Amino acid sequence: MALTRRDFAKRSAYTGAGVALAGSVGVLATAPGAIGEEATDASGDDGTRQLGYGPLIDDPKGILALPAGFSYKIITRTGVTKLESGEYTPSNHDGTATFEGSRGATLLVNNHELKGPRADWPHPVPLTEGHVYDPAASGGCTVIEVAHDGSHVSEWVGIAGTSTNCAGGRTAWGTWLSGEETEDKAGDHGMTKDHGYVFEVDPYDQKANRDPKPIKAFGRYPHEAVVVDPKRGHVFLTEDADTPNGLFYRWTPPEGFAHGRGKLAGLADDAGTLAAFKCFDSGGRFVDDLSRATEPGTVYGVDWVEVPDRDARTTSVRKQFQDGEVTRARKLEGMWWADGGVYVVSSYAREESPVQHDGQVWFYNPARRTLTLKVRFGVNPDPSKDGAFDGPDNISVSPYGGLIIAEDGEGVQHLFGATEDGRTYPVARNEINIGTADEPEYSEFTGPVFSPDGSTLFANIQEPGIMLAITGPWRRQR
């Protein structure tokens, strides 16, 4: 049953417009007035604990600045470390998930955001026999096993021959959903098959990854992140696109369908229902773009509008809707399921959006069918100056409270935390300059995720392609 504008307006009248309908979520609570407020240092003058872990300390190796007491280890590095088959680790590390391995080891699945022909990249994902979708494509994902003490690392191909594998998402049944952030069809850029799909990868079973098949039921468009509602079975998907801005999607499984290992591969191409979101405010007014929300705590009601042609045979999915039919947002990126709902990032908005900003974090509550703005970052006036955060991208929920967010903006790049009251604090800073001394450039962080036991934060620097394991005195953030 849809949540009607009248129902939403009636419920909002009792709570006040822009205020959460029922309490606050436990992981990142509503923070009225918090516009990406930066936290104080780790210890105050009175000896009480403050937020975060203190200032970041320059790395003499020029790789990763961390707070005092923290250290890092390089797990994989493009052109340096090698797969079990002997090829070098592929480049452009992106979305990552962790899984429990045997004897205390951690398994990770790592996307590689490589678009276009293989000849364009020095280190594409190797075409492992039996694991290739399109031999012309350069992307895919690898599986990495890391011993508990970090003493042993091995890496192999999970899937190859896909394109622009971006954020992705972990499933409740222990697999990885890898989406292609592209709309290339067969014949475009040398491709031999259509792209823009989601693929399932099993980190535990290489046989299950043979003969990869796209999950066409989820639609063909520039995929970013994927999240599964473990209670209702819905699959939520983000789209990073513009002209026009992208959409937030929900796939509803067909009646009687039960999720599990290998089940998605058996779906018909038109199975279930793929729909895009449509938001309205407490007065029942349609919201055309999420950038219009400028106050954390703003709550929208959500309806879902079915996609006419999910495989986009003639028209891109987001272009199949007219103005007024769906709500749009620029750079819908990372997602994470927690606290009974979905955290969703809009990385930034510029001239292509009604209102400019440098990042939003939303929470979609499927039980109430509401979308709440949790954190908003104003436009950073000087991205080259360290201190301010902008351009949130990949996110994960920290076992120590709040979110860990990967920065993908201009200038300096960080991993940073966001707390229950909307404050932010630094966790790491990328110090690898891939530009010049006069015009420095720093690649984005991607795929922050904790090990299953919470002792290690894994994260990537996309270029030149490095996976890092960060350890230190983690503690609960309040």
- As a whole number of angstroms, the distance between CA 196 and CA 183 comes to 5
Sheet containing strand 139-146, edge to edge, reads 93-100, 106-112, 139-146, 153-162
pTM above 0.75? yes
- Residue 49 confidence class, pLDDT cut points 50, 70, 90: low
Mean pLDDT of 337-347: 96
DSSP-based three-state secondary structure for 295: coil
Q: Which residues of 167-180 are buried (b: 16+ CB within 10 A; e: fewer)?
A: bbbbbeebbbbbbb
CA distances to 198, 255, 258, 290 from 213, rounded to whole Å, are: 9, 22, 19, 33
Give residues with Cβ within 8 angstroms of 64, minimum separation 6: 72, 428, 429, 430, 431, 461, 468, 470
E strand intervals along 32-152:
56-57, 64-67, 71-77, 93-100, 106-112, 139-146
Residue 1 confidence (pLDDT) above 60: no
165 DSSP β-pair partners: 180
Q: What is the pLDDT of residues 188-243, one digit of tens each?
A: 999 999 999 999 999 999 999 999 999 999 999 999 999 999 999 999 999 999 99
Q: What is the pLDDT of residues 56-85, one digit of tens each?
A: 999 999 999 999 999 999 999 999 999 999
Residue 33 confidence (pLDDT) above 70: no
- As a whole number of angstroms, the distance between CA 240 and CA 181 comes to 7
Higher pLDDT, 36 or 462: 462
pLDDT score of 66: 98
Query: Taking the CA atoms of the chain, what radius of gyration do you get in angstroms?
Result: 21
pLDDT score of 151: 84
pLDDT score of 57: 97
Query: How large a percentage of the chain has pLDDT more than 90?
Result: 83
User: In the Cβ-directed half-sphere of 12, how many Cα atoms lie within 13 Å?
Assistant: 24
Mean pLDDT of 278-285: 96
Higher pLDDT, 44 or 151: 151
25 near 363, Cβ under 8 Å?
Answer: yes
Residue 181 confidence (pLDDT) above 70: yes
- As a whole number of angstroms, the distance between CA 279 and CA 300 comes to 6
Residue 34 confidence (pLDDT) above 50: no
CATH number of 5-471, picked from 3.40.50.150, 2.40.440.10, 2.130.10.10, 2.120.10.30 = 2.120.10.30
Domain map of the chain by residue range?
5-471
In whole numbers, what is the pLDDT of the chain averaged over residues?
Answer: 90
Q: Is the dihedral of CA 345, 391, 168, 191 positive or negative?
A: positive
Pair of tokens at residue 112:
């590689």
221 near 239, Cβ under 8 Å?
Answer: yes
pLDDT score of 5: 47
Residue 40 confidence (pLDDT) above 60: no
Q: Which amino acid is at 316?
A: S
Give residues with Cβ within 8 angstroms of 72, minimum separation 6: 63, 64, 66, 428, 468, 469, 470, 471
Mean pLDDT of 400-421: 91
93 near 466, Cβ under 8 Å?
Answer: yes
pLDDT score of 39: 53
DSSP-based three-state secondary structure for 15: helix
Residue 2 confidence (pLDDT) above 90: no
pLDDT score of 423: 86
Query: How large a percentage of the chain has pLDDT more than 70?
Result: 90
pLDDT score of 420: 75
Residue 474 confidence (pLDDT) above 70: yes
- As a whole number of angstroms, the distance between CA 82 and CA 159 comes to 16
